[in-house]
Structure 1
């Protein structure tokens, strides 16, 4: 296989960043990462200090099973602190129609509650060695999607640049608390999901009439713009932190998902041929959640699907992400 000098330089840089001492991973995000926090809130048991029931046996995540951080913890033997909450955005101040704990506010507050000692005094101290854990932020799907930019529901004064600045500021805030190693995930190609495809047919996530072609074009624009702005912000942070122990990497989730979509046989291995255009979990009536599950694929077929439902990746897609993120933490992933 041929590698260009640039390619090799990128991989070498990643190897230097990779640390064999990583013992824990701290995650912030939305339903693409959350295992049970949103369900806990919905059920009235708001997660408190040291909430560890992130993988209760009776719960399933938005991918229909275990989320990718659980597999990441297994692959790397890491302790996982998962603060992601389904339905979240980076900041509820920017998008006030969203009310679940956001990344920059309430999710960060959980981290402070769990890991920052003597909070509120000049003597506050992180209870983890900064060289032994990595912070991963994976947010943006709800920020740009339906009920936000795709449907023109955002405040008139809020721009895509504000969304990117929020993610970068979230990293700065965590750096101030003592974190030093960061990964920020790019948005996935949302246009590949059923919800943001060119189809105008109703879905369980948006049962109202809509212009699918227009949505598809808009989401492509917003995803690429936000990803480009975040990438620029990552570069600015590394310049800002140059000469210190702090660094931030961007994980190219967009490219990973494109590769899975374009080369499915390399990534999916269920009992039927790989399927990257359909989804396993069916909701026959988009106006009736109680019918969801009728016509689902079988357990044996699940690993053949890239998508669990109209918006969320499948558990097998999550395994693929976890494996590549494990490679990223070791400094060897191409993403």
Structure 2
């Protein structure tokens, strides 16, 4: 049986190969020259439960019906993190106090339901995906004019940043990790989907993009190796028993996808010239969360002993009888799968620096 130590050693080795010296040099040299955003006025978010405020809740409350065009997504103080999600903290931390946040993320979402459809009984349909719902919803809103003649999406494109954070569900249970993707699709199909959704936003006028890579899901209790693993739970009722194998499989998927992001982004921008005039920052949220895991005292600030392997909210397999730790800011994970609110605060602070063009957690590219 492969030990956790061996798995972590593999992560280090693969990451060393995934980010070569020339990319590290470019990362340092390109902060100011490649990302010259003069003003940050609007944030548009696409993704899953790591970012969702209230959209999935709307679908549930309206028997699967989507929000209407021009719907204002309310802040959720009880999101999947147990509190607010990172886009709301970006609004709090940015010097632009009136930052507009347009959050199209939907809990449970994948990039495309043509690749990894995941059925959700509460709406009697697959979870709304980026390709089939989130991007079209944004495009519709971007063309919507209020009754008073003002645009629903405020501000010029020059100050608008589009953030993409996907992958948790695509790579997870009921998807790639269980080989339940649509026949003929694979990880490269998923990666193609991500860049295709960016293309759709680009074609609609978008020019400033932040592409989050995939979080270190193999550290999440849901996919962790023994002794930090969990068994059957509210998210995975038929979870396999070999958790070491499961964690190793997730590790391979995550580092493979992230390595491709590192290489494909400059190839798409600078060689293929796929996004003329655009700026793309690849946000290494994987590296940031790994640093939280390895150095929790630099990021977590709860009153209880810091804990990066356990989680705040413990429920039974139906999601009931939950017991919540009274010091949630001591944890990296809120539950078996989701980052804690404190982790999302850290991510938000880092994101603000990414947008400023001064983050060690980002690589910047422009045509």
Would you call these one fold, judging by a TM-score over 0.5?
A: yes
- Local SS of the residue matching 2:177: coil
Gapped regions of structure 2 (runs ≥ 5): 1-20, 120-125, 146-152, 362-367
Q: How many residues end up aligned between the 2 structures?
A: 317
Give the corresponding residue for 1:179.
206
CA RMSD of aligned residues (A): 2.1
User: Are residue 214 (structure 1) and residue 245 (structure 2) matched?
Assistant: yes
When residues 103 and 242 of structure 1 are mapped into structure 2, their CA distance, relative to the original with a 3 A threshold, is closer
CA deviation after TM superposition for structure 1 residue 18, in Å: 4.2
Give the corresponding residue for 2:16.
none
Give the corresponding residue for 2:233.
203
Counterpart selection for 1:94 from 103, 115, 129: 115
Gapped regions of structure 1 (runs ≥ 5): 119-125
Alpha-carbon distance in 1 for matches of 2:26, 2:214: 24
Alpha-carbon distance in 1 for matches of 2:53, 2:144: 26
Alpha-carbon distance in 1 for matches of 2:219, 2:360: 22
CA deviation after TM superposition for structure 1 residue 103, in Å: 1.0
Contact 1:282 1:296 in 2 (8 A): yes
Alpha-carbon distance in 1 for matches of 2:216, 2:197: 23
- Local SS of the residue matching 2:191: helix
Deviations 1:36-80 (A, max 9, x none): 111111111732222223305xx5110011000000011113211
CA deviation after TM superposition for structure 1 residue 233, in Å: 2.5
Contact 2:100 2:154 in 1 (8 A): no
Q: TM-score, normalised by structure 2?
A: 0.81
When residues 309 and 127 of structure 1 are mapped into structure 2, their CA distance, relative to the original with a 3 A threshold, is closer
Q: Which moved more, 1:128-137 or 1:184-193?
A: 128-137
Give the corresponding residue for 1:51.
71
Alpha-carbon distance in 1 for matches of 2:300, 2:25: 28
CA deviation after TM superposition for structure 1 residue 227, in Å: 1.3
CA deviation after TM superposition for structure 1 residue 266, in Å: 0.3
When residues 159 and 185 of structure 1 are mapped into structure 2, their CA distance, relative to the original with a 3 A threshold, is same
Superposition map of 1:87-166 within 5 A: 87-98=108-119, 99-116=126-143, 128-166=155-193
Superposition map of 1:159-308 within 5 A: 159-198=186-225, 199=229, 201-210=231-240, 211-239=242-270, 240-241=272-273, 244-283=276-315, 285-286=316-317, 288-291=318-321, 293=322, 295-298=323-326, 301-308=327-334
Alpha-carbon distance in 2 for matches of 1:309, 1:37: 20
Contact 2:117 2:127 in 1 (8 A): no
Alpha-carbon distance in 1 for matches of 2:281, 2:102: 19
